[in-house]
Amino acid sequence: MVCAASYKRFVRKENTTDDDKRHAGEKMYSCTECEKHFSSQSSLCIHMNIHTCKYKCTECGKCFERSKDLERHGRTHSGEKPFECAVCKKRFATSGNVVRHGKVHSGEKPYKCDVCDKAFSYFSSLNKHMRVHTGDKPYKCSLCSKSFSRSCHLQTHISYLHSNRRPYECSQCGKLFKINAELNRHLRIHTGAKLYPCRHCSESFKRLYQLKTHLLKSHNEGAWLTCYICQQKFTDGSSLKQHILRHADVKCYVCNECTMRFYTVRELKFHQLVHSNYREFCCGLCGKDFKHRRYVMIHFKRCSKKFGFNDV
């Protein structure tokens, strides 16, 4: 998506024909306006929209060169998903996302990391993965200076920790969510949908990480990730990273109410309810409200015995 006029503004560093540098995560492309560097030409092209913004999203401020790109991006905020996967019926905002999602079912992973042999379905995923080895975190939060390796992680961080806005509402129960991904996960409670089937057996799963864990444990497919300190094994990189932070006693997430620190976002969110009167969980038998799901589940078991529902 590089027009001839904007292409002239691209500057490439020396020795850019060396594939080893590209796989190592070196940022070979430089913006002539602000000297910011990027690992791919497409990333630079997207960045250039900041300097020559034609179509701007009113929700998040992201810029686009074409009106149809802005229209397609708008679906991420509205939740509109007109395209459906023929295999699992999962819906997507764009046709391109359906094509990319199809590799989940086919198992095709042509792009392999030269460092750890982990394979990926998309070249962009391999590029993002390389930051695990290089430690590169180009996306920085302007509110707390925390850095991230992916832009989606930065957006999620801002939504979770620096905003109280909940624009996504469940049509079934009215519950509100900060990001669309949370709403989609929640909807499976009502539908019971298991969107991730195993290609080796009849098992299906609600979450992708559950499928990956199943493939490792039951079919020996994939690669275990091992903690270099205690040799504990994990199925995904995020769990391993959080585990290593506990060894190092690094607590990255700080409560903005009392300055207590936590290892994970989940722990921080659980704690922040101490400072809030919001109670989103309710006992269906007696109507008592609770802040945490685990507490209402414990109460419900006791309450069901009190009302004579011993089989609940």
- Report the pLDDT value the prediction gives residue 18, as an integer from 0 to 100: 44
Q: Are 112 and 118 in contact (CB under 8 A)?
A: yes
Range in 20-34, 114-128, 237-251 with the lowest mean pLDDT: 20-34
| Predicted model pTM | 0.37
Residue 7 has pLDDT above 50, yes or no: no
DSSP string, 184-217: HHHHHHHH----EE-SSSS-EESSHHHHHHHHHH
In order of 1, 46, 106, 177, the CA distances from 62 in angstroms are 16, 10, 33, 21
Q: Are 63 and 54 in contact (CB under 8 A)?
A: yes
- Report the pLDDT value the prediction gives residue 236, as an integer from 0 to 100: 80
What are 141-195's pLDDT values in tens digits? 877 777 887 777 787 777 767 777 777 888 877 778 777 777 887 777 777 778 8
Q: Pick the more confident residue, 272 or 202.
A: 202
Q: For residue 35, what are its two tokens? A: 């000297």
